[in-house]
Structure 1
């Protein structure tokens, strides 16, 4: 069994490193998929500490979901720290088996929160369920917000993939 190389790059080549700092981002990492985003947030924090005066203040959203935040939210303190430091504009939490106070799934929240945010989308996690659901959610948003047909929305999302504006690193 061969190992498939990761497709994730921050930012996707050939953007210079400074462009990664100035890019509005939507990062979606349920479960262990959040790990790559923890590292990227640390990279952004280091850049801010090196040159705070020139650090771009752009919207960066991180969607993190798990079954139960009390049991599975091991990195919550670190994620909340990145919000306090201005690395993330917002941390959106979802829990599928929680008490109902939070959205159950990332897609439950996506459509209400990020309409009109120009950004790159990075998705990291489960290929069988989550990534398919997220892609369908974005396709539906394109149809609703841009008035496109099903085929036009699929073509639009395909173009976003080709242009590295919707990047997935998923596994099954």
Structure 2
């Protein structure tokens, strides 16, 4: 669907954030770090009604991506971990946070491995309370 997605992106219908993590000869890039690096743009898209589609490993990547989105929420709103959990649950209920995940077992959002929140702007990074 590469060509179709490119066409849709040119029309402004979608914004594709594809992160290949295994490019030979290049350092690994993790999608959760890319989300944090682009937190302002990510938040703007979410606020505009974006639908998020996460596809990948259920036991490692998916929980880390969930945590990144919750950290973006906390950074942008100043709210708590509990608020972030509710927000993500609401996005799921509204079919705006979709996952196609496999491998291992899906970890709950509160058991997500940590990641580098410095990507959100160094000292300005505000992870959720209790994170």
TM-score after normalising by structure 1: 0.48
Structure 2 residue aligned with 1:123: 54
Higher relative contact order, chain-length normalized (CA < 8 Å, sep 6+) = 2
Dislocated runs of 4+, deviation >6 Å: none
| Alpha-carbon distance in 1 for matches of 2:5, 2:83 | 35
Q: How far has the Cα of 1:99 moved from its partner?
A: 4.1
Q: Is the 8 A contact 2:19 2:30 kept in 1?
A: no
What is aligned with 2:18? 63
Stretches of structure 1 lacking an aligned partner (at least 5 in a row) = 1-38, 49-54, 71-97
Equivalent of 2:67 in 136, 140, 148: 136
Paired residue for 1:146? Answer: 77
Greater CA radius of gyration, 1 or 2?
1
CA RMSD of aligned residues (A): 2.4
In terms of fraction of residues, the more strand-rich structure is 1
Q: 1:141 to 1:44 in 2, by over 3 A?
A: closer
Q: Mark the runs of 5 or more structure 2 residues left unpaired by the alignment.
A: 104-131
